Structure 1
Amino acid sequence: MPLKKTTVMVDEADLDLIKQAAARDGRPESEYFREAFHLAAMRSRRWDQDMDIPVLDFGHAVTSDEVDELVRESIGGETKDPR
Structure 2
Amino acid sequence: MVLKRTNVYADDEDLALIKEAAARIGVSEAELIREGIHRIALARRVWDKPFVEDGETFDLGGPVTREAVRDAVSDGFSEREARNRGHAA
TM-score (norm: length of structure 2): 0.61
Name the % identity. 41
Give ranges in structure 2 of 5+ residues lacking alignment: 73-89
* Residue type of the alignment partner of 2:9: M
Q: Which has the higher contact order (CA 8 A, sep 6+)?
A: 2
* 1-structure distance, mates of 2:9, 2:36: 14
* 1-structure distance, mates of 2:32, 2:13: 15
- How many residue pairs end up in the alignment? 66
Bigger Cα Rg: 1
* 2-structure distance, mates of 1:10, 1:16: 10
* 1-structure distance, mates of 2:39, 2:29: 16
* Residue type of the alignment partner of 1:24: R
Which residue is equivalent to 1:44? 44
- Root-mean-square deviation (CA, aligned residues, Å) is 2.7
Does the C-alpha gap of structure 1 residues 56 and 25 become closer, same or farther in structure 2, counting only changes over 3 Å?
Answer: closer
Give ranges in structure 1 of 5+ residues lacking alignment: 76-83
TM-score (norm: length of structure 1): 0.64
Runs of 4+ in structure 1 deviating by more than 6 angstroms, as ranges, are none
Alignment of 1:1-80 (within 5 A): 1-52=1-52, 54-55=56-57, 67-69=65-67, 71=68
